[in-house]
Structure 1
Amino acid sequence: MKLEVAPRARKGLRRSIAAIASLACAVALLPGTAQADNPIVQNIYTADPAPIVHNGRVYVYTGHDEDGSTYFTMREWRVYSSADMVNWTDHGVPMSLATFAWADANAWAGHVVPRNGKFYWYVPVRQRSNGQMVIGVGVAESPTGPFRDALGRPLVGNGEIDPHALIDDNGQAYLYWGNPNLWYVRLNPDMISFSGGPTQIPLTTAGFGTRTGNPSRPTLYEEGPWVYKRNGLYYNVFAAQCCSEFIAYSTAPGPTGPWTYRGTVMPRQGSSFTNHPGVIDFNGGSYFFYHNGALPGGGGYTRSVAVERFAYNSDGTLPTINMTAAGPPQIGTLNPYVRQEAETIAWGSGIETEPSSEGGVNVGYIENGDHIKVRGVAFGSGATSFTARVASNTGGGRIELRLDGTNGPVVGTCTVGGTGGWQNWTSTTCAVGGATGTRDLYLRFTGGSGYLFNVNWWQFGGGSAVPSHG
């Protein structure tokens, strides 16, 4: 059922985000101006990105900072995916503190790794029995969950946080974590047990740089290790020297060292005093995920995940990467002639998402003037119709189909009537004209006061098939 109390409280913040969305859209329409679609999620605060590549898509797992938080108040994790690095599909909440009956707080920075046809999500949580931070493991058969507690107890725990898993070329898996220290264990092939005990990696100034003014922490290493292998070299990218943190990295010939400090990846930027790295290669490009406080009300406890494309230097070193509002370029185009989830969004203004009775997630809490932007939609020779799956417990409203901006040309308008419930779904279809070529699509929602309707998915008809990454 539609629960309105908490979302009504959140909509004030979404109005603020709507204001900067309008500004971003206006800027995007200026000649020669880059698109502005960072952060990649706008309807909630997200933090601590952990990206993976699976079956031609990027999945990024995040934490969720609660609105108005004055601490790291986090109760659940989220997952988003994309095939083109600009339009991100919201898959909802596949795991929360409730997944771990023995945990009571702090759904903090985790990491997912696929193996054995399953997906293992290592997360730090507070153990109810002793109040200590420990590492739990969720497991699922799908990258979007749902995840369940793999052990019914912590995997390992010593009061430290930020786990990250690496499966080496020889099949040996490692779990790294730590703040203020840096630890690892050798995971067994089942990924939910380990051989030997936790081993501490020596934090030397040669390995992790020199911190001044803090004798108890002589190196720059702070937290958030992201360890991976590329061209025979092991990289450890980490959050450095709180507060505020920057992102630094070290390299080593082996997965446990010896490490050599290499310098800064992302300088201190943005309005969050923490940062958290995630690095992947996808479709011939390299991508750096991080978080900042760029949304309205954003800061150190209300963060937002963003991403940049980068290229390694010829010697394998990492370049300096700066935060941008533009984010990476789009890979390919989005095909409007196949069903697209309404929660596939480059930028959303005013909307929320929620679980759908038809499965997955739908866009909801839509009010007059809210909109969704979808980038790089390949209409080809031209669409002739538009169908949306909708539901409304009120009198409904209209979906205006606009190109290039919220005030761009209207190529179609679909009327949404009442359906007798927020999860009583029906399909509505309207004629479309003038949607040709590759354009940015804006779904602009209009109607009376209050909540208008929900949208589950949409699809254009009548046009030519186009190659798609969406």
Structure 2
Amino acid sequence: MRVALRLPATARAGRAIAGVLVLLGLVAFLPAHAARADNPIIQTIYTADPAPLVHNGRVYLYTGHDEDGSTWFTMKEWRVWSSTDMVNWTDHGSPLSLTTFSWAKSDAWAGQAIRRNGKFYWYVPTTNRATGRMAIGVAVSDSPTGPFKDALGRPLVENGEIDPTVFIDDDGQAYLYWGNPNLWYVKLNADMISYSGSATQIPLTTAGFGTRTGDANRPTLFEEGPWVYKRNGLYYIVFAAKCCSEFIAYSTATSPTGPWTYRGTIMPTQGSSFTNHVGIVDYQGGSYFFYHNGALTGGGGFTRSVAVEKFTYGSGGTIPTINMTTSGAPQVGTLNPYVRQEAETIAWASGVETETSSEGGMNVGWIENGDYVKVKGVAFGAGARTFTARVAAASSGGRLELRLDGVNGAAAGTCTVPGTGGWQTWTTVSCSVTGATGTRDLYLKFTGGSGYLFNVDWWQFS
């Protein structure tokens, strides 16, 4: 992650300037030892406020994006990632930003997406330019990865409060909840972009949301970031508690509108971010708890990163205490190297970033000597013989080394990447492979001269 400097994807002419800044030591890098960890799950940018969605056998993860060097919640866009194995995450870029909403001024904060009737609805809070208050907008897309468009041309609801979560009950009734310092809900209509009745305030009682001490204006623990779902007939509302620093707590009910019963702490106060935000899903027989912290280099309360843990519900549907780890969730299955894999499918990365590719999707770029990408649990089977990658380089290029089980692990092959005349002028390179058998962690290690070397769009073994 280039913590001190980020150039827009269109500013390739600025690479030379960036190189000077690198030499001046103004760009921070992740240490090599970080490769031992798989949490946080995104390392190419700072991410916050995770909202997972399971669809067609994949987990889609919707996040906010903390700008590098932020000293406030400086957020201009939302991002999407996806995975089939909970460890290798594909970057789908930013299909939704402040500019999507003509009425939005600032603050691309915590939202959630949901699918209904073949469309995807993404509810997000942002500041209304006309009123200066926080409002909830809704964007819609035919695809979980966008692009999304403003469904209304105006806020869906507006009362100055934030952090929407959306839930569809078994009877088809959809609910939108949000709030800080209060907690509200509306009953969404089947079109998901309008609602019946008016906003209803949920009573924040100590029986329902725990007791806060030392703040007469906030008698309960509820702070912000509600996440509502139903499991085995029980309704859950998981939320960021107290402030500051926040911890994650939860309450349950037998109705989507309460009354709620406080059940206790899930994730105690920990990590280097004074906020936290949760998203919970079941996937492939496991339960997963997404959150954020400030664990990456340069991270903190305004430069956060999303992480995930696997957990098991207790008797009666209780949620256990979950602590932050650097190991993260275990891999579900393996990754198939014999089909095209996007280069931006990453378990861990050092140095690189991603950008929009001229051939569709995203590509890995900003590659310098010694940078690498880790792909976890690659099932080579009896053995790979050839490696092919789609690459581009406005410079003289470099080398793409294939390493097994470590950035300096056994060398399985090396592809030479030539200059192609442009950072989006693509060509395909191939090289022979030896020793890639069984299930291994694959490291794409990038080597060469000084400055930026080349971009990688996709790769495949045969």
- TM exceeds 0.5? yes
Q: State the superposition RMSD in angstroms.
A: 1.5
Superposed counterparts of 1:27-46, under 5 Å? 28=36, 36-46=37-47
In structure 2, what is the Cα distance between the partners aligned to 1:47 and 1:329?
A: 21
> Paired residues, what number?
450
Q: Does the 8 A contact of 1:64 with 1:75 survive in 2?
A: yes
User: Of 7, 15, 18, which aligns to 1:8?
Assistant: 18
In structure 2, what is the Cα distance between the partners aligned to 1:352 and 1:42?
A: 8
In structure 2, what is the Cα distance between the partners aligned to 1:399 and 1:50?
A: 34
Q: Which amino acid aligns with 2:431?
A: C
Superposed counterparts of 1:398-437, under 5 Å? 398-437=399-438
User: Given the alignment of the two structures, is residue 356 of structure 1 paired with residue 357 of structure 2, yes or no?
Assistant: yes
Q: What's the offset of the Cα at 1:17?
A: 4.1
5+ long unaligned stretches in structure 1: 29-35, 462-470
Q: Does the 8 A contact of 1:78 with 1:92 survive in 2?
A: yes
In structure 2, what is the Cα distance between the partners aligned to 1:157 and 1:317?
A: 34
User: Given the alignment of the two structures, is residue 103 of structure 1 paired with residue 104 of structure 2, yes or no?
Assistant: yes
In structure 1, what is the Cα distance between the partners aligned to 2:336 and 2:25?
A: 32
User: Given the alignment of the two structures, is residue 18 of structure 1 paired with residue 30 of structure 2, yes or no?
Assistant: yes
Q: What's the offset of the Cα at 1:374?
A: 0.2
Q: What's the offset of the Cα at 1:15?
A: 6.0
1:86-108: CA deviation from partner (whole Å, max 9, x where unpaired):
00000001100000011010000
In structure 1, what is the Cα distance between the partners aligned to 2:278 and 2:366?
A: 32
SS of alignment partner, residue 418 of structure 1: coil
In structure 2, what is the Cα distance between the partners aligned to 1:329 and 1:165?
A: 28
In structure 1, what is the Cα distance between the partners aligned to 2:340 and 2:29?
A: 27
In structure 1, what is the Cα distance between the partners aligned to 2:195 and 2:239?
A: 23
1:309-365: CA deviation from partner (whole Å, max 9, x where unpaired):
000002210000000000011011000000000000000100010000100000011
Determine the structure 2 residue equivalent to 1:222.
Answer: 223
Q: Does the 8 A contact of 2:30 with 2:297 survive in 1?
A: no
In structure 2, what is the Cα distance between the partners aligned to 1:401 and 1:15?
A: 26
In structure 1, what is the Cα distance between the partners aligned to 2:28 and 2:273?
A: 18
In structure 2, what is the Cα distance between the partners aligned to 1:422 and 1:37?
A: 29
Q: Does the 8 A contact of 1:137 with 1:192 survive in 2?
A: yes
Q: Which amino acid aligns with 1:342?
A: A
SS of alignment partner, residue 18 of structure 1: coil
Q: Which amino acid aligns with 2:164?
A: P
Q: Does the 8 A contact of 1:13 with 1:296 survive in 2?
A: no
Q: Which amino acid aligns with 1:313?
A: G
SS of alignment partner, residue 206 of structure 1: helix
In structure 1, what is the Cα distance between the partners aligned to 2:93 and 2:350?
A: 18
Q: Which amino acid aligns with 1:89?
A: T
Q: What's the offset of the Cα at 1:256?
A: 0.4
In structure 2, what is the Cα distance between the partners aligned to 1:179 and 1:265?
A: 20
Determine the structure 2 residue equivalent to 1:153.
Answer: 154
In structure 1, what is the Cα distance between the partners aligned to 2:445 and 2:284?
A: 32
Alpha-carbon distance change, 343 to 388 in structure 1, aligned in 2, over 3 angstroms: same
Identity over the aligned pairs, expressed in percent? 74
1:135-169: CA deviation from partner (whole Å, max 9, x where unpaired):
00010000000000000000000000000000000
Superposed counterparts of 1:331-346, under 5 Å? 331-346=332-347
Q: What's the offset of the Cα at 1:43?
A: 1.3
In structure 2, what is the Cα distance between the partners aligned to 1:297 and 1:129?
A: 35
Superposed counterparts of 1:62-73, under 5 Å? 62-73=63-74
Determine the structure 1 residue equivalent to 2:3.
Answer: none
Determine the structure 2 residue equivalent to 1:32.
Answer: none
User: Given the alignment of the two structures, is residue 302 of structure 1 paired with residue 314 of structure 2, yes or no?
Assistant: no
Q: Does the 8 A contact of 2:393 with 2:423 survive in 1?
A: yes
5+ long unaligned stretches in structure 2: 1-8
Q: What's the offset of the Cα at 1:422?
A: 0.8
Q: Does the 8 A contact of 2:272 with 2:293 survive in 1?
A: yes
SS of alignment partner, residue 315 of structure 1: helix
Q: What's the offset of the Cα at 1:18?
A: 2.6
Q: Does the 8 A contact of 2:181 with 2:223 survive in 1?
A: yes
Superposed counterparts of 1:264-343, under 5 Å? 264-343=265-344
Q: Does the 8 A contact of 1:2 with 1:422 survive in 2?
A: no
Q: Does the 8 A contact of 2:238 with 2:248 survive in 1?
A: yes
Determine the structure 2 residue equivalent to 1:464.
Answer: none
Determine the structure 2 residue equivalent to 1:241.
Answer: 242
Q: What's the offset of the Cα at 1:2?
A: 4.5
In structure 1, what is the Cα distance between the partners aligned to 2:432 and 2:398?
A: 17
Determine the structure 1 residue equivalent to 2:6.
Answer: none
Q: Which amino acid aligns with 1:339?
A: R
In structure 1, what is the Cα distance between the partners aligned to 2:277 and 2:209?
A: 16
Q: Does the 8 A contact of 1:14 with 1:349 survive in 2?
A: no
Alpha-carbon distance change, 81 to 14 in structure 1, aligned in 2, over 3 angstroms: farther
Q: Which amino acid aligns with 2:203?
A: P
Determine the structure 1 residue equivalent to 2:90.
Answer: 89
Q: Which amino acid aligns with 2:344?
A: E
Q: Which amino acid aligns with 2:326?
A: A
Determine the structure 2 residue equivalent to 1:191.
Answer: 192
Alpha-carbon distance change, 440 to 14 in structure 1, aligned in 2, over 3 angstroms: farther
Q: What's the offset of the Cα at 1:14?
A: 10
Alpha-carbon distance change, 311 to 14 in structure 1, aligned in 2, over 3 angstroms: farther
Superposed counterparts of 1:165-176, under 5 Å? 165-176=166-177
Superposed counterparts of 1:113-128, under 5 Å? 113-128=114-129
SS of alignment partner, residue 227 of structure 1: strand
Determine the structure 2 residue equivalent to 1:112.
Answer: 113
Q: Which amino acid aligns with 1:282?
A: Y
Q: What's the offset of the Cα at 1:13?
A: 9.8
In structure 2, what is the Cα distance between the partners aligned to 1:13 and 1:114?
A: 45
In structure 2, what is the Cα distance between the partners aligned to 1:151 and 1:205?
A: 37
SS of alignment partner, residue 325 of structure 2: coil
SS of alignment partner, residue 124 of structure 1: strand
Q: Does the 8 A contact of 1:389 with 1:456 survive in 2?
A: yes
In structure 1, what is the Cα distance between the partners aligned to 2:255 and 2:25?
A: 46
Q: Does the 8 A contact of 2:46 with 2:68 survive in 1?
A: yes
In structure 2, what is the Cα distance between the partners aligned to 1:412 and 1:440?
A: 14
